[in-house]
């Protein structure tokens, strides 16, 4: 049976990136395109909602920014009707044939989901350092992040209760829950995400802050207190 893929995109003032993100999702599909694209807008004032509607996406308006991205992702999943969910950041571009790769990965009944290889859309040397460190991180722990395009069988996503109610690291902890249900597969195709937050605040400064958050989470220390600054930095980087 042909896979029905629901792409879920959380967005806040993403008018500069969302058009290409949606167009790449359509153009780089090799199995006829995604079943549906859902944009969850958390209060944009730059025309993001209008762009989503104009490009044929289903639009859901949700005031969930203060509670973190997990709220937006779960709201989008509630609206989705596909049998596989692909959670995609609004500034992240899918590779060619991504849908066929997901379908192939999930042809194994033991596989419940996975992600793509992390990469940044820029030529700076420091961005390659960020990529290497991130790839080392998830090759060891198999906890993927939202900018890797996490995909999951809808039934398994619902079984684990969706994204946990965390303001940071929600994707990593979703992966932890999914691994208890079956196998996660890393698709060895680069998914390109914007390097804007690294370029805006300094590549190594942002990397050091990210590593601190990863390490604290690894130790089991809650990192929610860093969420306000993290999301504010992201908003400024836009």
Q: For residue range 171-190, list pLDDT tens digits in order.
A: 999 999 999 999 999 999 99
pLDDT at 225 over 80: no
Q: At what angle do helices 227-237 and 203-218 cross, to 10 degrees?
A: 150
Give the residue extent of every domain in the chain: 5-237
Q: How far apart are CA 75 and CA 170, in angstroms?
A: 14
Q: How far apart are CA 153 and CA 7, in angstroms?
A: 12
pLDDT at 199 over 70: yes
CB 84 within 8 A of CB 151: yes
Q: How far apart are CA 58 and CA 28, in angstroms?
A: 19
**How far from the centroid of its chain's Cα atoms is residue 230's Cα?**
16
pLDDT at 34 over 80: no
Q: For residue range 90-129, list pLDDT tens digits in order.
A: 999 999 999 999 999 999 999 999 999 999 999 999 999 9
Average pLDDT over residues 210-220: 87
- In this prediction, residue 67 carries a pLDDT of 63
Of the candidates 184, 35, 197, 61, the one whose C-alpha atom is nearest the C-alpha of residue 130 is 197
- In this prediction, residue 234 carries a pLDDT of 46
Q: At what angle do helices 69-79 and 170-179 cross, to 10 degrees?
A: 50
Tell me the pLDDT band of 66, cut-offs 50, 70 and 90.
low
- In this prediction, residue 237 carries a pLDDT of 42
pLDDT at 68 over 80: no
Of the candidates 12, 7, 9, the one whose C-alpha atom is nearest the C-alpha of residue 231 is 12
Tell me the DSSP string of 101-137. Answer: HHHHHTTSTTEEEEEEEEEESS--HHHHHHHHHHHHH
pLDDT at 61 over 60: yes
Does residue 118 or residue 235 have the better pLDDT? 118
Q: For residue range 124-176, list pLDDT tens digits in order.
A: 999 999 999 999 999 988 899 999 999 999 999 999 999 998 888 899 999 99
- In this prediction, residue 215 carries a pLDDT of 87
pLDDT at 17 over 90: yes
Map tokens 């999301």 to a residue. Answer: 231
Strand 150-153 and strand 84-87: the pairing is antiparallel
**DSSP bridge pairs for 149:** none
Tell me the DSSP string of 2-68. Answer: ---EEEEEEESS-TTTHHHHHHHHHHT-SSSS-SEEEEEESS-SSSHHHHHHHTT-EEEE---GGG-
Q: Please report the sign of the dihedral spanned by the C-alpha atoms of residue 69, residue 169, residue 163, residue 111.
A: positive
Instruction: Identify the CATH homologous superfamily for domain 5-237.
Output: Spore Coat Polysaccharide Biosynthesis Protein SpsA; Chain A (3.90.550.10)
Q: Please report the sign of the dihedral spanned by the C-alpha atoms of residue 122, residue 185, residue 208, residue 226.
A: positive
């Amino acid at each position: 049976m042909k896979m029905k893929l629901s792409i879920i995109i959380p967005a806040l003032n993403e008018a500069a990136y969302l058009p290409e993100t949606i167009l790449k999702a359509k153009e780089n599909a090799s199995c006829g395109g995604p079943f549906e694209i859902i944009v969850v807008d958390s209060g944009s004032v730059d025309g993001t909602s209008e762009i989503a509607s104009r490009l044929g996406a289903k639009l859901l308006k949700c005031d969930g920014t203060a509670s973190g991205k997990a709220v937006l992702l779960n709201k989008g999943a509630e609206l989705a009707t596909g049998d596989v969910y692909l959670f995609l950041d609004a500034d992240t571009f899918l590779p060619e044939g991504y849908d066929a790769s997901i379908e192939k990965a999930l042809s194994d009944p033991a596989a419940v989901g996975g992600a793509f290889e992390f990469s940044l859309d820029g030529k700076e040397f420091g961005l390659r350092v960020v990529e290497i460190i991130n790839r080392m991180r998830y090759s060891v722990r198999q906890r993927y992040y939202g900018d890797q395009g996490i995909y999951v069988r809808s039934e398994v996503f619902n079984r684990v209760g969706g994204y946990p109610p965390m303001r940071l690291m929600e994707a990593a902890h979703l992966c932890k829950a999914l691994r208890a249900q079956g196998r996660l597969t890393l698709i060895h195709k680069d998914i390109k995400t914007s390097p804007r937050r690294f370029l805006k605040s300094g590549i190594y400064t942002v990397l050091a802050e990210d590593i601190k958050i990863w390490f604290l989470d690894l130790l089991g220390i809650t990192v929610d207190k860093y969420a306000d600054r993290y999301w504010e930095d992201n908003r400024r980087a836009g």
